[in-house]
Amino acid sequence: MKKILLVSHETKLNGAPRSLVSIAEILKSDFQLIFLLPSEDGELLEILEKHGFNYYIIKEIGYLYNRCCISRILLNIKITHAIFRLIKTQKINIIHLNTSASRFALVSALFAKIKIIWFVREYYHKPLIQLFHSVLIRFGANRIVVNSNYLKTRIAIKRTNVIYNSVMLPQSEPSSPKDSRSLLFMGRVTKDKGVDDLIEAFHLIHDHNIHLDIIGYCPDLKYYEQKLQDLNLIGCVHIHGFVEDIHNYLMKSRVVVLPSHRESFGRVLLEAFAYRRPIIATRVGGIPEIVDSTCGILIQPGDKNGLANAIRKLLDSDELTHQLGLAGYLKLTAKFSWTEYCRKVLKVHKY
């Protein structure tokens, strides 16, 4: 049985690591899997241990993103040697790089002459940075996978496979959200994800019968707590931090909102579809490949008034909420099928 080294640049359970765990679940019957991680902290390790996956930690990887240029060069040399040794001692056949940020493992894999499968999940606004990553990916990877056609255009590599993300359906039938007055945001709590826009739009419409739940990692919690206090939204908006089990939040929500300023795909949109929740999202990146007028409302990034109006529209219409939610569920089962996703992921790794 061939061995695959699955490389993650982070141990927090953001979208990319969650997708990597899904891929591991798909591959585990056909391959021996080993994870390579940058830290022994983070919820990803708990998930791996829970599922019985093996992993190795190279702590120096976690230092790459906050050191000076010379330190990074020395760290990269040390990391390259450590990964190369891991590949050889564990007799790895394939390396799976889960994001562009996993590039630190590329040189080791090239020296070891093993197959490189690169799942690219992000893009960069600055053209030179994007060009740098595209060159690395083009000449380094044997197989390249992206999660949207938009991202394929951004990295500009013709031999790229597009495999849309997917999620499994909940075990229990989702209840109707018609009595709910709760909005839900899921993702990193940052300006780039449109959280500031969402809070300010909520301020335009809020009354004490409407609630906003924000779940996800919040790097600057004090900033957002102060913002909620300044806008008199304490008690109406709740920042919960990372939540592993999102089932209860989706069940009690009426609408899922993702007002990102950039997004290559947006896995949380599929999770909303699975629970038959309508979506309000921005017309950026790969989002329009998932959400259209049949299953949600698209607005321009940064349009706080448009966001407020879209929220009002869905809060005021049970019929529209139900119609959009059902359409999203049907779209998930047709276009983003879990069975088809599994087939494509296996095919890429078995080539």
Q: What is the pLDDT of residues 283-327, one digit of tens each?
A: 999 999 999 999 999 999 999 999 999 999 999 999 999 999 999
215 in Cβ contact with 246 (< 8 Å): yes
Min mean pLDDT across 16-20, 170-174, 230-234 is at 170-174
185-217: pLDDT as tens digits: 999 999 999 999 999 999 999 776 899 999 999
pLDDT over threshold 70, residue 184: yes
> Average pLDDT of 117-126?
94
35 in Cβ contact with 96 (< 8 Å): no
pLDDT over threshold 90, residue 178: no
What type of residue is 100? S
CA 172: distance to chain centroid?
A: 24
> Average pLDDT of 128-157?
95
Whether pTM > 0.85 for this model: the answer is yes
Structural domains of the chain, with CATH: 3-166+337-350 (3.40.50.2000), 182-335 (3.40.50.2000)
Q: Give the pLDDT score at 271.
A: 96
Whole-number mean pLDDT of the chain? 94
> Average pLDDT of 156-163?
95
Sheet of 143-146, strands arranged across: 54-57, 32-37, 3-7, 94-97, 115-120, 143-146, 160-162
> Average pLDDT of 146-163?
96
pLDDT over threshold 70, residue 328: yes
Q: Give the pLDDT score at 102.
A: 95
- The CA-atom distances, in angstroms, between 305 and each of 32, 95, 126, 199, 242 are 51, 46, 29, 12, 28
Could you give the angle at which helices 267-274 and 318-335 cross, rounded to 10 degrees? Answer: 110
What's the angle, vertex CA 320, arms to CA 228 and CA 296, rounded to 5? 65
244 in Cβ contact with 45 (< 8 Å): no
- Kindly give the residue spans of alpha helices, DSSP state H, lying in 34-105: 43-51, 69-89
202 in Cβ contact with 311 (< 8 Å): yes
Cβ neighbours of residue 305 closer than 8 Å, sequence gap 6 or more:
201, 204
> Average pLDDT of 132-142?
95
- 346, two tokens: 């296996």
Number of C-beta neighbours around residue 11 at 10 A: 23
39-92: pLDDT as tens digits: 988 899 999 999 999 999 999 998 887 777 778 888 999 999 999 999 999 999
Q: Give the pLDDT score at 208.
A: 66
79 in Cβ contact with 36 (< 8 Å): no
304 in Cβ contact with 201 (< 8 Å): yes
Q: Give the pLDDT score at 342.
A: 97
3-31: pLDDT as tens digits: 999 999 999 998 999 999 999 999 999 99
Q: Give the pLDDT score at 206.
A: 73
Q: Give the pLDDT score at 65.
A: 75
> Average pLDDT of 237-264?
94
> Average pLDDT of 116-132?
94
Backbone angles phi, psi at 313, to 5 degrees: -60, -45
